[in-house]
């Protein structure tokens, strides 16, 4: 037996032992475990890229970035709950984050006092990153200014079959928009949703990115989207205009959260601090067409000030809890409309 083992070992040595490993010197360049942070992000590369890069340069911490859709990443975090891999989830609407808040641990950022009122959660389970008002848009060639004023005018029947809305059952931002509409309009929620489905004539767009394209391209006259998306396309020269609904709108932040049991908690906190730091928040305003969550960072000059937006107090928890019932009911409403 011993001899057989020896022969096996010898063979293994012959087959593998002599092979040089060309990557050896690279291993010495790999950062120590204490210099790493794992970030799951649903932001686009143009958003997380500069922030992560600057974070690395300033702190010397290597960031491992995993990208994906918000719900996909949150499901992954839930799956890894026993042995967390991720330190920070960066990005994602706070309703989505709220639905998974049992996988987070509270952290109040170093400058949490400077967060605008209403954006900081009481339990600090997530930290806001940017404020994203829901807006209505219209095609400036097809619609005159003043024709579209708010949610009620959207459901007035004037835009039947010509409203661009991403499927709220799929798109997080579109769900926020729908929930905002429900909050802003009086009356029974399901009736309002039924009205919306009627006006949509059962048609929704598969992705939130398609809304602006549909309106700018003229296939829909009006649309519901986030201010950030609209501003970006507007800057690129699309023929769209933004309407802040007169009944009021929400400015639900997207946020970040520290994962419970994170392998690199200190580095994760450093990143959360950094994401809320003044430098990054200024970048959010100047580069990403978003609104900052900090009181000491003013929004872009071209944007109407936040206090003129008639912001409603968006009930995040209510919206998060409604989501299941909504996901069950909404496709039925759509189907009925599509059939009729």
Partner 1 sequence: MKNASFRQKLLTSFLAIGILPLLICTLLMLNIFRLSLTRSAADAAETQLDAMSGELSGLLSDCETVMEKLCAEPAVAAALDRSELDEQRVYSVLYRAAAPVLGGASLSVYGADGRQLYSTSSQPASGSLSPRWGLLAAAADGGVVYRGASSKSSACIQAACAVRRGSVPLGYVVADVTAAQLTALFDGQYTATSRLLLLDPFWDQVYASSDLPAKTLAARLRSQLLAGQALSDSHGAYDYFVRQEPRSGFCLVLQQPKPMTEGTAELMYLVAGLSLLLCLGLCVLASMRFSRQLFEPIRALNSAMREVEEGNLNVQLDNRRIDEMGQLSGRFNRMAQRLRQNLKDSLRQQRELNEAQIRMMQAQLNPHFLYNTLDTIKWMGKIHQAPEIATISADLADILRSSISADELVPLRQELRLVERYVEIQNIRFSGAFALTVEVDEPLRDVPVPKLMLQPLVENAILHGFRDRSGGEIRISAYRAEEDLILTVRDNGCGVPEEVLAQYRDGAPRPGGHFGLHNVDAILRIRYGPDRGVRFVPVQGEGACIRITLPVFRKGEEPPC
Q: CB-wise, 44 or 53, nearer to partner 1? A: 53
- Tokens 């974070």: give the residue: 55
> In the range 35-54, which residues lie near partner 1 by CB under 8 A?
36, 50, 53-54
Residue 254 contacts residue 21 (beta carbons within 8 Å)? no
Give Cβ neighbours of residue 204 (< 8 Å, ≥ 6 apart).
Answer: 165, 166, 167, 168, 174, 334
**275-334 binders of partner 1 (CB under 8 A):** 279, 282-283
The answer to whether 190 contacts partner 1 (rule: CB under 8 A) is no
Count the residues of the shown chain that bind partner 1, applying the rule CB under 8 A: 30
Q: Which of 6, 8, 58, 296 binds partner 1 (CB under 8 A)?
A: 58
Q: Is 5 in the site for partner 1 (CB under 8 A)?
A: no
32 near partner 1, rule: CB under 8 A: no
CB of 298 to partner 1, least distance (A): 15
Options 61-69, 87-95, 263-271, 327-335: segment touching partner 1 (CB under 8 A): 61-69
Task: Say how far residue 311 (Cα) sits from the centre of its chain.
Answer: 19
DSSP 269-303: HHHHHHHTSHHHHHHHHHHH--B-SBTTSPPPTTS
Which lies closer to partner 1 via its Cβ, residue 36 or residue 203?
36
Strand partners, 105: 258
Put residue 219 in one of left, alpha, beta given phi > 0 → left and psi -120 to 50 → alpha.
alpha
How many CB atoms are located within 10 Å of the residue 11 CB? 11
Does the protein bind partner 1 through residue 141 (CB under 8 A)? no
Residues that bind partner 1 (CB under 8 A): 10-11, 14-15, 18-27, 29-31, 36, 50, 53-54, 56-58, 62-64, 279, 282-283
């Amino acid at each position: 037996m011993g001899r057989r083992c020896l022969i096996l070992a010898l063979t293994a040595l012959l087959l593998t032992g002599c092979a040089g490993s060309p990557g050896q010197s690279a291993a010495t360049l790999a950062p120590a475990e204490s210099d790493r942070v794992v970030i799951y992000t649903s932001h686009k590369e143009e958003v997380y890229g500069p922030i992560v890069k600057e974070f690395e340069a300033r702190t010397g911490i290597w960031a491992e970035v995993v990208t994906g859709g918000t719900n996909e990443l949150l499901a992954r975090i839930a799956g890894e709950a026993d042995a967390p891999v991720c330190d920070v989830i960066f990005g994602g609407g706070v309703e989505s984050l709220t639905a998974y808040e049992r996988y987070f641990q509270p952290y109040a950022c170093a400058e949490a006092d400077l967060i605008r009122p209403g954006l900081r959660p009481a339990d600090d389970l997530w930290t806001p990153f940017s404020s994203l008002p829901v807006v209505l848009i219209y095609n400036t060639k097809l619609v005159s200014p003043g024709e579209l004023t708010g949610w009620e005018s959207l459901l007035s029947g004037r835009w039947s079959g010509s409203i661009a809305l991403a499927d709220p059952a799929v798109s997080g931002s579109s769900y926020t928009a729908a929930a905002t509409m429900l909050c802003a309009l009086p009356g029974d929620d399901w009736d309002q949703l039924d009205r919306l489905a009627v006006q949509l004539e059962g048609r929704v767009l598969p992705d939130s990115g398609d809304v602006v394209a549909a309106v700018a391209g003229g296939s829909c006259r009006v649309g519901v989207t986030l201010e950030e998306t609209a501003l970006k396309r507007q800057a690129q020269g699309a023929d769209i205009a933004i309407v802040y609904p007169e009944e009021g709108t929400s400015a639900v932040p997207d946020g970040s959260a520290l994962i419970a049991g994170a392998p690199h908690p200190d580095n994760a906190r450093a990143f959360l601090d950094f994401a809320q730091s003044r430098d990054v928040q200024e970048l959010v305003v100047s580069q990403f067409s978003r609104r900052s969550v900090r009181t000491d960072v003013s929004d872009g000059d071209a944007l109407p000030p936040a206090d003129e937006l008639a912001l409603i107090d968006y009930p995040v928890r209510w919206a998060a809890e409604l989501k299941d019932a909504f996901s069950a009911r909404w496709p039925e409403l759509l189907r009925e409309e599509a059939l009729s």
